[in-house]
Amino acid sequence: MSSIVVSELEYAPPGADSLFFDLSFTVAPGEHAAIVGANGVGKSTILRILSGELQPDEGEFALGGTMLRMTQDVGMSNPTDSLRDMLVEVAPTALREAGRALHIAEAAMYAGDDDGTKFAEALTHWGDCGGYELEAQWAAAAKRSVKTDVDDFATRLVGELSGGERKRLVLDLLLNSGADILLLDEPDNYLDIPTRLWLEEQIRACKSTILMVSHDRTLLERVATKVIVVEGAGAWVHGGSYATFPEARAKRQELLGDALKRWHDEERRLFHHMKIMKQRAAQNFKNATKANAAETRWEKFVAAGPPPPPVPDQQIKVRLRGADSARRVVQMIDVSIGDLFLPFSDEVHFGERVGLIGPNGTGKTHLLSALAGTLGDHASLEGTINFGPRTSIGMFTQVNDRPEFRGRTCMDIVRRRIYDEEQAMKALARYGLAPQSRQEHQTLSGGQKARLEILCLELEGHNVLLLDEPTDNLDIESSEALEQALDGFVGTVIAVSHDRTFLSTLDRFVMITDDGEVYSLPDFEVGLAALQQPDKLAGLRLAKSLT
């Protein structure tokens, strides 16, 4: 049976406290379950344990049947790897080991360290394990997922595919593999909205048992049949859609609070009764038996312990204040970047929330970098970009890659923006980063890096925010805190995002298509419809020059 059973699991990273303990849940055959929780609670760690990459400190688990796993950074590590190298890493264990051995033997043969005997043996073993059948699956998945033909997986490099193409190729392969169990870590990251819609359809149609980690609220609402909540160092299960999860959690918190209050009330009642009986026994020895019984009842009740209290909510408080600027914040005249998109012109005014949308690879991030002045020499900017007076620009990068932060602790980074250490610690605490205050930037999780970068934007006091996929690595509560802060932000926002919940909070949209056409879309509903049906864009194209 393709079930997942986890019982009393505990894990602590080397030299650190337990991430979780007494973690138990079950995923029935065919269920599509999602693990949710705050950044850093161990969601990805659970998948790593279930895949055998990590060993738990306590507890046990059982997976029924064949299992395949996709990590959140699949295909993102080395662009010079071949597609074969990438796809071997998501193969079943025996094929993965055979594929690695084949790669080593092939390299040795080409280097002259082997006369071809070991390569021939490795090739035979690859075939015996089912490698040629797997290669046929690769070819079928590539035909569906990659825009250009893949003739040879051994020579086609990972870097020749966009991040979205790599992710879709792996997802297509896994979701059509027939494996009993799939472990998917952030399957939606790097995917554009049309591909996320495809992913939803694929997951709903998949017969495998799926356990996934995702922060895409729309995706979770549409595909998750069970929600496993990691909080309070353990887990509890909501046996329904994510759409009903917030209400279920609020009800659970209320019930936990009521149960704890009832326990304390009962404990006080038993203790008070025991004291009264003790006093009566002191006055009349005939009451001694009743007094002892009352004391025993109270002691047993206390020894059993209270029910768990409500889990404290993560208190992420983002305060993006901003400042006033000129009415016209930025003017773009006949702007184009290389051959990514055709020249277009537009203006962004103070207070607007503008979303840059469109398929992957159309130049949205390049345009954002051009606005930030960080495009570099790898792409040529044509046209003119003018910013109005009193504008201060802050940029949030998609990969949170800040070389200047490497080797520096969170406290060091914040102290560059707040001189007082006590105030710096309070700022870190508002973002849930106080425990990481002495931790170096490169050791933070993706979500922690994202929160730190948003905190830096807040402290720098910009009134124009350029945000590249700001919610990709944020947990759901942090995303909601960011959205609430942007709602009250005195300034202008230009954001690239594929998070449909986040996009729905923006005012208007600029869409770049695969053909390089640039369109102005008035609201989220029109934008979403355009992404699904680009042929409905007639009459919305931005003019080449301002009129």
Q: Are strands 508-512 and 518-521 parallel, antiparallel or unpaired?
A: antiparallel
- Contacts of residue 429, defined as CB under 8 A and 6 or more positions apart, other chains included, come to none
Determine the residue type at 422: E
Q: Are strands 67-70 and 181-185 parallel, antiparallel or unpaired?
A: parallel
Q: Token match 């193409």: residue?
A: 165
Quick one: pLDDT at residue 543? 46
pLDDT tens-place string over residues 198-231: 999 999 999 999 999 999 999 999 999 999 999 8
Residue 210 pairs in a beta bridge with 32, 182
pLDDT tens-place string over residues 377-391: 767 889 999 998 888
pLDDT tens-place string over residues 399-411: 656 778 888 999 9
Q: Helix or strand or coil: residue 386?
A: strand
- Contacts of residue 219, defined as CB under 8 A and 6 or more positions apart, other chains included, come to 188, 196, 199, 200
- Contacts of residue 122, defined as CB under 8 A and 6 or more positions apart, other chains included, come to 98, 101, 102, 104, 105, 106
pLDDT tens-place string over residues 111-121: 777 777 888 88
Q: pLDDT class for 17, splitting at 50, 70, 90?
A: confident
| Virtual torsion, Cα 426, 432, 438, 439, nearest 10 deg | -160
pLDDT tens-place string over residues 49-102: 999 999 998 899 999 999 999 998 887 767 788 889 899 988 888 998 988 888
Give the full edge-to-edge strand order of the sheet including 393-396. Answer: 393-396, 464-468, 492-496, 353-357, 508-512, 518-521
Task: Give yes or no for residue 250 having a pLDDT over 60.
Answer: yes
Closest CA to 394 of 329, 438, 473: 329
How many Cβ atoms sit within 10 Å of the Cβ of residue 139? 13
Distances (CA, A) of 405 to 352, 408, 453: 30, 6, 10
**8 neighbors 24 (Cβ within 8 angstroms):** yes
The token pair that represents 399 in the structure block:
């990969």
The CA-CA-CA angle for residues 524, 528, 530, to 5°, reads: 115
pLDDT tens-place string over residues 324-333: 666 888 999 9
